[in-house]
Chains A and B, each alone.
Chain A
Amino acid sequence: MSEAPLLELAGLSVDIPTEAGVLHAVRDVSLTVRRGETLCVVGESGCGKSLTSLAIMGLLPPAAQRRARRLALAGEDLLSASPRRLRALRGDRMAMIFQDPMTSLNPAWSVGDQLEEIFIRHGKGNRRAARERAVALLERVGIANAGGRLAQYPHQLSGGLRQRVMIAMALMCSPGLVLADEPTTALDATIQLGILQLLAELQAEMHMGLMLVTHDLGIVARIADRVAVMYAGEVVEEGPARTVFTAPRHPYTRGLIDCIPQPDRMAPGQRLGTIPGMVPSLVGEVQGCAFRTRCAFARPECAATVAPRHGPDDHMWRCVLPPETLDHAA
């Protein structure tokens, strides 16, 4: 298959100048999303996963500086695209779902207006067609009385409903690529799963490329085709979900997997795994493996630049350990 991947990202760096020095928030990140594939980007807060998705959309805050070797959507280069072309692509061919649905919808406009607007502005049809599409999508994302909801304003909806509206909004123009940036973090635990399942269903139904940014590895195991694990602004391991979960090659990934509660395999009262220590500061030059300060397997070589290693079926990791080191039963 010679078709270009839906999203190609290579060598992405995001630098943010701060008073203390330059913050290297994202360092040399390369990702690929193919049509009909779900890529989950996982990592703890501040590891650069949100900035990565904003950088792809071209929505970084003005202070942040983006550099990349390649950024392309369905083969079309986004690095050299005009602002006008980017606006035409955003919302139409690639859409984003944000973390906080409470603040991501405009309080001054009705749900219907905000849904229809994206459809009309991208020239998909008139207001009536937009309305029909909006109602159909609201129903699809599980909102009852969809027609009545159109006249409501965001403040009249609960957080879960708002996020469903945000999802419907992202899908209005049937984009090939959807970026979801921690779409359930701001929601009640009881409705998080429902929203994520909905996203997974829609992804399959519409054969979209979905890049789901999350720190919930439990959900990743269920819906991801591929997983990218980020730590301190870097992708430390990336590969097919099954491979990454069964044979992780980076101690950080191992640590994350051990943190997932597994009620059926654990004795009552057994403690979950934790990763000791803190994420290092990314201000100034970062040398070597950023995880070595928390890593049980750290050795002198870790202080030097760690080259990515590759295994079978597109598995990549950045660790100097012999691959079998982590193959213990968790």
Chain B
Amino acid sequence: MLRFAARRLLLALAVALTVSAIAFMLLRLSGDLATTLAGQEARAEDVERIRQQFGLDRPLILQYGDWLWRALRGDFGRSLFYPESVGALIRDRLPNTALLASLGLLIALTLSIPLGMAAALWRNSWIDRLALMLAVLGQAMPNFWFALLLVFLFGMTLGWLPISGTESFAHFIMPAMALGWYATPVLMRLTRAGMVDVLAADYVRTAHAKGLPLRVVLIKHALRNAVVPVVALAAVQFGNMLSGSVVIETVFALQGIGYLAWESISRRDFPVVQGILLVVALFYVVLTLLTDLLNAWLDPRIRSR
């Protein structure tokens, strides 16, 4: 297991380095940076002055090294629009997105795993049909539409929950429901498919033959094997949520990463976009690493690969 973890960690570091290089290059590829910074009406001398001032005349590899060194210490440069540094902006917005994504994933998993298990256990029963109907509905209904329905019901008609802002925990409930709703169908169908396979497996019959309680057979012997692909998919979805659901954060005016990214792209605030890109990419790298480790713990056969 330790060797497996070390190998994965090394791989993750390599990916992170590559990603950082791509993030760095993206900005350089989007045109001459000095011209962009100087503005449309700048004279050639001004552009040249800025080029030297920002070190843009140096070899690319040196610029990259410099940039990476600063990025490692959380210094992503300054926003072209906000007075704060990019690092401060991201640090400010990240906890909101993290809370939202965690809640969203929690909701999705608590819905999808029991429902998927029940649907697999009682195939073609009413509960299987209900689960299928929910899945179709969840896939078919755009999540901003579902979010608006939530706002209409819980925010306006019942008045239970605040409809916009980031001030309290209650502000996160509806956006998290909307995110979770969107992630649930695929996770549930995958759980169901995995359980259907596993329930027909010989080792589940062995577990019954051992006279183990049904709960132990279903969870310890069946679910543990069925859940491996679900974990992988849940990690991808968590990554999506963490990279900020622009739509949901916009609907609820939630000050998160997605909202910031969307704002910054429309303002051509490149340093912020770059910073977010890097942070989000690193999330994916870390999540992938954690998923690999979790799956290796769940399924010992993965460890020896």
Contact = CB atoms under 8 A, between A and B. Distances in A.
A306 B132 CA distance: 52
B211 A107 contact: no
Pick from B205, B211, B299, B300 the residue with the most CB of A within 10 Å. B211
Nearest to A87: B211
Contact of A98 (B202, B221, B301): B202
Nearest to A83: B214
Interface in B202-217: 202-203, 205-214, 216
B199 to A, nearest CB: 10
Contacts of A105: 203, 206
A104 interface: yes
Interface stretch (A74-82, A114-122, A320-328): A114-122
Contact of A153 (B207, B225, B301): B301
Given A103-B202, A106-B225, A153 B300 contact: yes
A53 to B, nearest CB: 10
Interface in B27-75: none
Contact of B216 (A121, A155, A166): A121
Interface in A94-135: 95-96, 98, 100, 103-110, 117-118, 121-122
Contact of B299 (A88, A98, A107, A122): A107
B196 to A, nearest CB: 13
B212 A108 contact: no
B14 interface: no
Contacts of B206: 98, 104-106, 166
B157 interface: no
Interface residues of B, number: 23
Nearest to A118: B210
Contacts of B213: 87, 121
A279 interface: no
Contacts of B304: 155-156
Contacts of B299: 107-108
A164 interface: no
Pick from B210, B298, B299, B304 the residue with the most CB of A within 10 Å. B210
A181 to B, nearest CB: 10
B201 interface: yes
B224 interface: yes
B305 to A, nearest CB: 11
A103 B201 contact: yes
Contacts of A91: 209-212
A296 interface: no
Contacts of A87: 211-214
Contacts of B301: 107, 153, 155
B300 A100 contact: no
A87 B212 CA distance: 7
Given A107-B203, A108-B224, A153-B300, A88 B208 contact: no
Contacts of A106: 203, 206-207, 221, 225
A59 B205 contact: yes
Contacts of A90: 208-211
Contacts of B216: 117, 121
A107 B225 contact: yes
A179 to B, nearest CB: 9
A84 B202 CA distance: 21
B211 to A, nearest CB: 3
B3 to A, nearest CB: 15
Nearest to B200: A61
B46 to A, nearest CB: 65
Nearest to A92: B211
A169 interface: yes
Nearest to A156: B304
Interface string B236-266: 0000000000000000000000000000000
A7 to B, nearest CB: 15
A259 interface: no
B210 A57 contact: no
A197 to B, nearest CB: 23
Contacts of B212: 87, 91, 117-118, 121
A269 B210 CA distance: 47
Contacts of B300: 107-108, 110, 153, 155
Contacts of A110: 300
A103 B211 contact: no
Contacts of A96: 209
A162 to B, nearest CB: 11
A88 B201 contact: no
A114 to B, nearest CB: 8
24 contacts: A57-B209, A87-B213, A90-B208, A90-B209, A90-B210, A91-B210, A95-B209, A98-B206, A98-B209, A100-B202, A103-B202, A103-B203, A105-B206, A106-B206, A108-B221, A108-B225, A108-B299, A109-B220, A109-B221, A117-B210, A121-B211, A121-B216, A122-B211, A155-B300
Give 6 nearest A-B pairs by CB, closest first.
Answer: A91-B211, A90-B211, A91-B210, A103-B202, A106-B203, A153-B300
Given A87-B213, A95-B209, A153-B301, 14 more contacts: A86-B211, A92-B211, A98-B206, A103-B202, A105-B206, A106-B207, A106-B221, A107-B225, A108-B221, A117-B212, A117-B216, A118-B210, A118-B212, A121-B213
Interface of B: 201-203, 205-214, 216, 220-221, 224-225, 298-301, 304
Interface of A: 57, 59, 86-92, 95-96, 98, 100, 103-110, 117-118, 121-122, 153, 155-156, 166, 169
